[in-house]
Structure 1
Amino acid sequence: MPSRRTVLAATAGVAATLALGDTAHADDSKPDDSELRSLVSRMTLEEKVGQLFVMRVYGHSATAPDQADIDANLKEIGVRTAAELIEKYRVGGIIYFTWAHNTRDPHQIAGLSDGIQRASLGLPRGLPVLISTDQEHGIVCRVGKPATLFPGAMAMGAGGSRGDARTLGRISGAELRAMGIRQDYSPVADVNVNPANPVIGVRSLGADPDAVAGLVAAEVGGYQASSVAATAKHFPGHGDTAVDSHYGFPVITHSREVWEKLDAVPFRAAIRAGIASIMTAHIQFPALDDSGDPATLSHPIVTGILRGELGYDGVVVTDSLGMEGVRTKYGDDRVPVLALKAGVDQLLNPPSLDVAWHAVLNAVRAGELTEARLDESVLRILRLKAKLRLFDEPYVGQAGVDRAVGTPAHLAAADRIAGRTTTLLVNEGGLLPLSRSTHRKLLVVGADPASPSGTTGPPTGVLAAALTELGFTATALSTGTAPSTATVAKAVAAAQDADAVVVGTYNVTATSPQKTLVEQLLATGRPVVAVAVRNPYDVAQLPSVPGFLAAYSWTDVELRAAARVIAGKTDPRGRLPVPVQRADDPARVLYPIGYGLSY
């Protein structure tokens, strides 16, 4: 078997000519894959099967995780460590999660990444591992502070700047790369046209397909200029669902014509921008495939439309194979085989790697899948690794972390961008900005949802601290997403001692106790300012609030930006990237796309 040095030498020429910064020209001149094809031809069937999988693993270290993580790995994967996972299954990719204890801090992440590469490259015919994560920013972040956290997608849509989107990708990509993460499952290219969408929502850049497309392409360019593979998701479009595919099987009822004009537009733009990978959705889309299969397992959608009609020949990765949307119709032993038959390349995070790995292996041995079919996907995966220079530069070390991650310049850029996203929807009587002389004493109440990695504490506390830094005296009182009668009474009593009240709202519905909280606070006669910390649609449920802002997320960077708007330190510049319908008549638009007030 060739040594690691032999493998590197065999692919060095390809790696040197395929830097991701050149992907915009990928369609103009196909790379010479002769070295990579030769490598594939020497791989065993087991090695090829392993390259197709991207798997979770618990622990902060590749070889010495904590005992609890060893126990979790033994229970779910049958190995003790990441190094054992690689040795047993030869996986081509590993995905990092916060809950898997992979992302404690940037230096630890870099050490884990190097440990994973060392374990893989130390094996006979060792290949570099493509390490990935979901760093969407906003409500989905796997790597937290001190890394730079940007506003989430819908906030970026409210800002509307392609330059800002490219900056986000470039900086976030540089920081991820410094930690050894070379594939980011972002940007979300779904066009969110359903206010009731429980899984996409503010993870989408908006409801206007052309605006979304421009921002997606810009973000792709930024990430890939930093040699991180961007991933447009979730093909063929997850923006009009009322079911979360983690827990159910959504159905998209768009016609083919609607799909062409709506869902397809951002994906076409991503492909034109040289997108390195595209993630499939676990949704049923009868207009594109009437078999009843999820798109992830659909040959007409993946091979017929994505590869054939859209001309995409990059890496296609499934969404997590542990999600209910892809497991509803078939068993876990059939899903990976059917996904490969549909045309995907990377099989992400199956519930049982052993079941999935052997299912693919046995399908080839039985003739259901050909080894030539596997070779197509393995070649795409190795080509991407070569583009990322993983064969030449698999390790990141520690020195680059301090140079790249959470630098003052990066943090300042995130704050500047956030300052262009906060959207003012209601300002009766010129209530905002609040005056430090008239409204010095503030009460900050509201929802404190589970914190993503982009937060340093409960949103009420972060917002109160930011307002205090701006010259107010702000007190935080968490009332939750479903405040009880006693909690509402406590907030009303506290409001008596305040000059004004700031309320953080979170997905308010017609029957939400949050409505009761806001109505009773209004009854105190104190000025009330509401800040939607997730969906901007909350404003339709709270028509009596005299001041209303949309922050689109409860991460620190967005709450600090909202505080600056409340204090008048920043003019509100964000504009709605989605329409808000009337609560009493959803067929009528209350605030259209592009709406937003200024001071």
Structure 2
Amino acid sequence: MKTPRPTCFLTAFILLLATYFASAAPPDSFLFHEQDTTVAEQARNLFDSMSTEERLAQLFLVGWDGVSPSQAVLEWINTRGIGGVKVFGWNTNNAIELARSLGTMQTRALAQRAGIPLFTATDQEGGWVRHVRDRTSHTPGNMALGAGGSPHDSYESAVRISRELRLLGMNMNFAPTVDVYRNTEASVIGSRAFSDDPVQTAVLGMAFAAGSQAEWVIPTAKHYPGHGNAVGDSHLLLPRLEETLAQLHELDLLPFRMMIHEGVPAVLSAHLAFPNITDAYTPASLSRFFMRDILRDELGFTGLAITDDLYMRGAIDYAQGQGWSFEEMVVEAIAAGNDMVMLSRTPDAQGPIWQTLLRRYRDDADFRRTTDESVLRVLETKIRFLGHENRVPLVPDLSLIRDSLPIDEHQHFFAEQAALGVTVLRNSRLPLREDALGRVLVAGNVASFLSAATRRIPAAERFVFPYTPTHVSRASDRAWIRNNAARFDTIVFGLSNRNSAEILAELEPFADRVIVLSSLSPLYLAEMEWVQDAVAVFGLTDVSHAAGLSAIFGDFTPQGRIPLSALRRPLLEALE
């Protein structure tokens, strides 16, 4: 075999080093060591050194297509700068490539004249909202934490979620969800909420935020001013809530008030209309009343206010009704009092957005003043979290990711948390004896439930129906289970959404054969007093379903308490 010449090896080595140093941020980039100046003073000094475009660029948090950074997002960073990037599920098929992409974008941002790093944000709430799936932990989610009832567990869950984000180079998490869940039809929230009790929601949310900050990941309280009573999904339409301001203060705003008092650094504003409060159908995210009068003046919030994605129909439909262009809606969101606007896609029309924003900034003194305040809040948050020596690394260590993720201890911890959250809702014959099941049917529409149940009961027959549409079941599915239920001695049914609840209702004549494992919100059972045996796990993960089935078969005694106090009595009347 021909031996490579030393000069070729040396050339390759030099090229490798050049590639490494070209892609790595200097270790002291954007570190603030001054002890004799405040964060506000440091932010002001940085602000004064920036051009108008560099300042306004800090207001944007944008997404991109694919895993590698798109040319569009790189162009934003290279030509004008940007405040941050938002990681969605479509960016996360490969965690190592995602981390590489974040490092590339951070390096580009630091190479600009202002040299300001990016917020790198995602939604890693726990439970079924987990945008970064590769190499990260399956977690039971917020409502399971509510059932367990321990603020310490909420804190420790956030520490572990944030530790994984930290390794991947993500410094901001759009969590915790502190919506007060009190409407069965608020299915887009469901088990993402901790509870229907605003105080319990606040306490667990504060603990989660503290755990996030322990790893220097910025937590974000959402969805201000409260999505837990909304019928409909603001991704698809603009929900209209009938609360009065007094009701909002008593329930939905209480967690935000308590978290603001404890210094939560960021809040995410929601596309929700409150016509009884504003006499209009303006989304809270675009409302000066909600974003300035309530959030800033009344609740005293001094941190970052960030819009939910402005590509959601809840925002776009309203803007179109007002005759606004997309770029006008972006500017109106800033004018309302948001410090940053989230755009899930990198807009092709960069020019019109910038022209509209610059024109408003130059021509409107009030807009210029409030926008400058927003830029200063962005800079203060970056100095506080990204300018500290303990910050999330701006350029992730890819070898550390390969060696460390997934983390075994995290998997064990979250499996224990799943078991702690399991809650018996109704009980007439639990635990089941595996030798007394007879002929078994496992029915459901969630893959992790079906696989866990099949592992536990290998001889069971399966009936699988589609998860979507979530609100309407198929007549053929209802007919199948109605016509075939009599063939089985035991039916283990996975309840997950309105669709599955409609199919479950067909089993009322066979109530003494039915065991329900509720995956997400158990509120549907309040409409089904005939159900005699039911266990809730509040999540869609393998660990949650495995824990629920273990409880059904008596492997352990569940200790969870349903975190839905308004419905506790109708759900537990069989026990009382």
The answer to whether the superposition gives a TM-score over 0.5 is yes
Aligned equivalents of 1:238 and 1:226: distance in 2? 28
Q: Is the alpha carbon distance of 1:503 and 1:98 closer, same or farther for their aligned partners in structure 2, counting shifts above 3 Å?
A: same
1:345–1:381 contact (8 Å) kept in structure 2: yes
Determine helix, strand or coil for the equivalent of 1:531: strand
Task: Provide the residue aligned with 2:303 in structure 1.
Answer: 314
1:446 aligns with one of 425, 444, 447: 444
Q: Which residue identity does 1:447 align to in structure 2?
A: N
User: Could you tell me how far 1:436 is from its partner in structure 2?
Assistant: 2.1
1:438–1:499 contact (8 Å) kept in structure 2: no
Query: Which range moves more in the overlay, 44-53 or 505-514?
Result: 505-514
User: Could you tell me how far 1:173 is from its partner in structure 2?
Assistant: 0.7
Over the matched positions of the two proteins, sequence identity in percent amounts to 29
User: Could you tell me how far 1:211 is from its partner in structure 2?
Assistant: 0.9
Determine helix, strand or coil for the equivalent of 1:316: strand
User: Could you tell me how far 1:342 is from its partner in structure 2?
Assistant: 2.1
Task: Provide the residue aligned with 1:512 in structure 2.
Answer: 502
Task: Provide the residue aligned with 2:53 in structure 1.
Answer: 46
2:465 aligns with one of 456, 472, 479: 479
1:550 aligns with one of 536, 541, 544: 536
Aligned equivalents of 1:423 and 1:375: distance in 2? 50
Task: Provide the residue aligned with 1:240 in structure 2.
Answer: 229
Aligned equivalents of 1:506 and 1:106: distance in 2? 29
Aligned equivalents of 2:368 and 2:25: distance in 1? 26
Q: Is 1:185 aligned with 2:174?
A: yes
CA deviations over 1:502-522 (Å, ceiling 9, x no partner):
111232379924422x347x2
1:531–1:551 contact (8 Å) kept in structure 2: yes
Q: Is the alpha carbon distance of 1:596 and 1:168 closer, same or farther for their aligned partners in structure 2, counting shifts above 3 Å?
A: farther
Aligned equivalents of 1:239 and 1:490: distance in 2? 32
Q: Which residue identity does 2:355 align to in structure 1?
A: H
Aligned equivalents of 2:133 and 2:177: distance in 1? 19
Q: Which residue identity does 1:133 align to in structure 2?
A: T
Aligned equivalents of 1:7 and 1:177: distance in 2? 16
Match runs of 1:182-221 below 5 Å: 182-221=171-210
User: Could you tell me how far 1:369 is from its partner in structure 2?
Assistant: 5.5
Q: Is 1:413 aligned with 2:428?
A: no
Task: Provide the residue aligned with 1:361 in structure 2.
Answer: 358
Task: Provide the residue aligned with 2:38 in structure 1.
Answer: 31
Query: Which range moves more in the overlay, 394-403 or 149-158?
Result: 394-403
Determine helix, strand or coil for the equivalent of 2:535: strand
Query: Which range moves more in the overlay, 174-183 or 375-384?
Result: 375-384
Aligned equivalents of 1:114 and 1:436: distance in 2? 52
TM-score, length of structure 1 as denominator length: 0.82
Task: Provide the residue aligned with 2:563 in structure 1.
Answer: 577
Task: Provide the residue aligned with 1:66 in structure 2.
Answer: none
Q: Is the alpha carbon distance of 1:259 and 1:415 closer, same or farther for their aligned partners in structure 2, counting shifts above 3 Å?
A: same
Q: Is 1:13 aligned with 2:20?
A: no
Q: Is 1:337 aligned with 2:331?
A: yes
1:94 aligns with one of 85, 98, 103: 85
User: Could you tell me how far 1:441 is from its partner in structure 2?
Assistant: 6.3
CA-based RMSD of the aligned residues comes to 3.1
CA deviations over 1:32-62 (Å, ceiling 9, x no partner):
4333222211212222221111111012123
User: Could you tell me how far 1:580 is from its partner in structure 2?
Assistant: 6.7
2:546 aligns with one of 550, 555, 560: 560
1:388 aligns with one of 385, 389, 413: 385
Aligned equivalents of 2:449 and 2:500: distance in 1? 23
Q: Which residue identity does 2:410 align to in structure 1?
A: H
Q: Is 1:503 aligned with 2:493?
A: yes
Match runs of 1:426-445 below 5 Å: 426-428=426-428, 430=429, 432-439=430-437, 442-445=440-443
1:536 aligns with one of 522, 525, 534: 522
Determine helix, strand or coil for the equivalent of 1:546: coil
CA deviations over 1:537-556 (Å, ceiling 9, x no partner):
22134433332122223222
CA deviations over 1:391-446 (Å, ceiling 9, x no partner):
76422212432565331111111011111112211212x2x211122227643211
Match runs of 1:371-386 below 5 Å: 371-386=368-383
1:52–1:378 contact (8 Å) kept in structure 2: yes
CA deviations over 1:184-231 (Å, ceiling 9, x no partner):
111111111222224322221111111111111111111111111100
1:10–1:35 contact (8 Å) kept in structure 2: no
2:126–2:161 contact (8 Å) kept in structure 1: no
Aligned equivalents of 2:29 and 2:449: distance in 1? 55
Aligned equivalents of 1:510 and 1:42: distance in 2? 58
Aligned equivalents of 1:363 and 1:562: distance in 2? 56
1:507–1:537 contact (8 Å) kept in structure 2: no
Q: Is the alpha carbon distance of 1:505 and 1:276 closer, same or farther for their aligned partners in structure 2, counting shifts above 3 Å?
A: same
Determine helix, strand or coil for the equivalent of 1:239: coil
Q: Which residue identity does 2:529 align to in structure 1?
A: P
Query: Which range moves more in the overlay, 483-492 or 386-395?
Result: 483-492
Match runs of 1:114-263 below 5 Å: 114-263=103-252
Q: Is the alpha carbon distance of 1:597 and 1:51 closer, same or farther for their aligned partners in structure 2, counting shifts above 3 Å?
A: farther
2:117–2:386 contact (8 Å) kept in structure 1: no
2:125–2:174 contact (8 Å) kept in structure 1: yes
Determine helix, strand or coil for the equivalent of 1:388: helix
1:175–1:401 contact (8 Å) kept in structure 2: no
Q: Is the alpha carbon distance of 1:490 and 1:205 closer, same or farther for their aligned partners in structure 2, counting shifts above 3 Å?
A: closer
User: Could you tell me how far 1:125 is from its partner in structure 2?
Assistant: 2.6
1:48–1:374 contact (8 Å) kept in structure 2: no
CA deviations over 1:331-354 (Å, ceiling 9, x no partner):
223222222222211101166462
1:495–1:501 contact (8 Å) kept in structure 2: no
1:533–1:554 contact (8 Å) kept in structure 2: yes
CA deviations over 1:58-86 (Å, ceiling 9, x no partner):
12123xxxxxxxxxx6xxxxxx3542342
Query: Which range moves more in the overlay, 559-568 or 220-229?
Result: 559-568
Q: Is the alpha carbon distance of 1:155 and 1:363 closer, same or farther for their aligned partners in structure 2, counting shifts above 3 Å?
A: same
Aligned equivalents of 1:339 and 1:256: distance in 2? 22
2:30–2:386 contact (8 Å) kept in structure 1: no
Query: Which range moves more in the overlay, 149-158 or 360-369?
Result: 360-369
2:119–2:172 contact (8 Å) kept in structure 1: yes
User: Could you tell me how far 1:255 is from its partner in structure 2?
Assistant: 2.4
Aligned equivalents of 1:104 and 1:5: distance in 2? 25
Q: Which residue identity does 1:334 align to in structure 2?
A: E
Aligned equivalents of 1:553 and 1:344: distance in 2? 32
Q: Is the alpha carbon distance of 1:596 and 1:552 closer, same or farther for their aligned partners in structure 2, counting shifts above 3 Å?
A: farther
Task: Provide the residue aligned with 1:591 in structure 2.
Answer: 571
1:460–1:478 contact (8 Å) kept in structure 2: no
CA deviations over 1:270-325 (Å, ceiling 9, x no partner):
12332110011212234553454221122222222211222211111011111222
Q: Is the alpha carbon distance of 1:566 and 1:414 closer, same or farther for their aligned partners in structure 2, counting shifts above 3 Å?
A: same
Q: Structure 2 unaligned runs (5+)?
A: 1-23, 468-472
Determine helix, strand or coil for the equivalent of 2:561: coil
Aligned equivalents of 2:29 and 2:108: distance in 1? 19
Task: Provide the residue aligned with 2:270 in structure 1.
Answer: 281
User: Could you tell me how far 1:356 is from its partner in structure 2?
Assistant: 3.5
Query: Which range moves more in the overlay, 437-446 or 188-197?
Result: 437-446
Q: Which residue identity does 1:443 align to in structure 2?
A: L
Q: Is 1:304 aligned with 2:293?
A: yes
Determine helix, strand or coil for the equivalent of 1:35: helix
1:288–1:301 contact (8 Å) kept in structure 2: no
Determine helix, strand or coil for the equivalent of 1:190: coil
CA deviations over 1:231-289 (Å, ceiling 9, x no partner):
00111222221132222222332223222221121112212332110011212234553
Q: Which residue identity does 1:294 align to in structure 2?
A: P
